[in-house]
Structure 1
Amino acid sequence: MTVGDSSVSRRAFLRSATAVTTATGATGIAAAQEGQSKTVEMNDDLKFVPADLTIAPGTTVVWENVGSIAHSVTAYEDNIPEGASYFASGGFDAEQAARSAYPDGSIEGGGTYEYTFDTEGTFDYFCIPHESAGMTGTVSVQQGGGAEGGGGGESVPQVPNSAKTLGVATTGAMVLTLGLAYFFMKYGGDYGEFEE
C-alpha cells in the first residue's frame, strides 16, 4: 500500500462521514417539523385556556381536562371553514348529534381529546354543558401560525423544543465529524510502503 492509497481511503472516509451527517441533519429537521401539537386546558373555572389559539395547518390540538368537572369539545357546525371536517369529542359528525347525545363525548377530569387541523380558516367551538357560562374557544389555522392568541400585532415564531434538541444533536455530530476528519488528515497518513 502506498501513501497515495492511504489518502484515497481518508477521502472515502470523509465522504461517507459527510453523507451520514447530512442525512442525519435532514432527518432531524423533518422529524422536528412533523407532529407539532398545542395544548388547550379545560378547567373548573369553565374556561378553555387559551381560549383563542393560532396554529399552522397540520397542527394537532390536544384539549386536556385539568379539573374535576366534565367538559366537551364541540365545533359550531356553522362556524368552521367550508370543506373542513366537523370535530367533536365523542367522534360525532354533526353539532346536533353531539348536543343530543351528551353526556356521551364528555371529557372527564384528566381526560383528553385531540384533533388535527389541516384546513385553513377559523374554527369556533364550545363546551356543551357550559356554553351558557361562556365556555367557548376559537382555533385560527393559517400559514405561519403558531403564536398563541389571535389578536393583532406581530408574533414571534416559536421554535419547538424537539427542533432545538435535534439542532444541538446535529451540530454535535457535525463537530465530531470535522474533528475526526482533522485527526485523520493530520495524523493518519504517511505510512510508507508495506512489504509483503
Structure 2
Amino acid sequence: MSTGVIIALIVIVAALVLAAALFLRGRGRGGGPDLKRRFGPEYQRTVARHDGDTKAAERELAERLERHGKLRERPLEPAERERYTVRWTAVQERFVEAPREAVAEADRLLAELAGVRGYPDGGRYEEQLAALSVHHADHVEGYRRVHRVARTGAEGGTGASGAGTEELRTALMDARALFDDLIDGDGRHRGKAEAGTAAGDGHRTGPRTQGFLHKTSPRES
C-alpha cells in the first residue's frame, strides 16, 4: 500500500471520527429540551432524585426511552374495559370502609391493567414504572405514590400507622389519572392534553369519583 493511500485512509478515518463527535455533541445539546418535552413533570422529579445532576437524570431518562420508547400498547376489548372500570369503582366504594385495603387493591389493579396493555408485568414494578413513565409521564407519579403507600401499609411498619386517611385518599385520587389513561385507548395522547387540568386540580375526577373520596371514613378521627 502506497504512502498516498495510507494518508488518504487516515484523513477519511479522522473525518468520520470528527463527524461522529459533532453528531453526538449535537444530540447532547438537544437532549435536554427533547427530554423535558417528552417527560414533562417526570423530568423534574428525576433531576430532583439525582440531587440536581441534570446530566445523570437525562442519562437515566434516555435509557428509559431507549428501552421502552417503541412499546405499543395493546388495545382493550370493550368487555375488558368495562370489567376494569367496574373493579375500580368497587375500589372507590371500598375506600369508605377500608381505605388501606382499597389503596392496596388499586395498586394491584394498576399493575395488572398495565400488564394487560403490554407493559412489563407487575412483578417487575420498577421496570413497569419506567415503561409507563415513557408513555404516561404526566400521570405515572400517581401510580408511584399509591404503590409506596400500599407497600408501607403491607409492611406494617411505623409508616403504616402514620399514613392517615387523607394521605391514602390523595394517593388513590392521583392514581385514578393513570387508570383513566390506561383504560382509554387514546390515553397516551389525552394525558398531555389534560396535564394542565390535573396540575390545577391536584387530581382528575369523573362522575364515578366525585364525592366518594370526600366522605369521612369510619376509621378517620
Q: TM-score, normalised by structure 2?
A: 0.26
**Could you say which structure has the higher helix fraction?**
2
Higher strand fraction (1 or 2) = 1
Q: Which structure: larger Rg? A: 1
